[in-house]
């Protein structure tokens, strides 16, 4: 399987006076893959690929083309229905009790 889908040099992502403080390469993993829990603390696991047997609800290691953004909310979200970018403005209006104009597409995630 293809584990890494998008390695990018820091200069391809970051700009400004602090680029040198970023990692040299950012690795975009394919869906279902990530670096091991051990490597994040500086350890080197025995095998090149190991099964993840810990609970894993998600992270930010995937290729950004597969996960172009995330929504953080301290309110419960409706589940079972995929969300899209067009749902964000509708959700914000609905959350604050503002009528959603009929020409707006999308559904509230709340």
**DSSP states of the chain as a string?**
---EEEEEEHHHH--STTGGGS-SEEEEEPTT----TTGGGT---SSSS----S-----S-B-TTT-------SSPPP-SS---TTHHHHHHHHHTTPPPPTT-------
pLDDT reported for residue 57: 66
One domain, residues 62 and 75: no
Q: Distance between CA atoms of 27 and 8, rounded to whole angstroms?
A: 7
pLDDT reported for residue 50: 76
pLDDT reported for residue 9: 95
Number of CB atoms found within 10 A of residue 59's CB: 11
pLDDT reported for residue 105: 92
One domain, residues 57 and 79: no
pLDDT reported for residue 38: 82
Q: For the chain, list residues with pLDDT below 50.
A: none
Q: Look-up: residue for tokens 């709340």? A: 110
Containing structural domain, residue 12: 1-68
pLDDT reported for residue 36: 81
pLDDT reported for residue 18: 96
Return the biggest CA–CA distance within the chain.
57
Give pTM, 2 decimals: 0.54
Number of structural domains the chain divides into: 2
One domain, residues 45 and 30: yes
pLDDT reported for residue 58: 67
């Amino acid at each position: 399987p293809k584990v890494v889908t998008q390695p990018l040099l820091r200069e391809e992502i970051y700009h400004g006076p602090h680029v040198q403080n970023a990692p040299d390469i950012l690795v975009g993993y394919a869906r279902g893959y990530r670096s091991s829990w051990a490597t994040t603390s500086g350890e080197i696991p025995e095998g090149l690929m190991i099964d993840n047997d810990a609970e894993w609800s998600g992270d930010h290691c995937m290729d950004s083309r597969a996960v172009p953004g995330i929504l953080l909310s301290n309110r419960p979200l409706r589940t079972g229905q995929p969300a899209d970018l067009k749902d964000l403005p509708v959700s914000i209006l609905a959350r604050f009790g503002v009528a959603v104009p009929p020409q707006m597409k999308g559904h509230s995630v709340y």
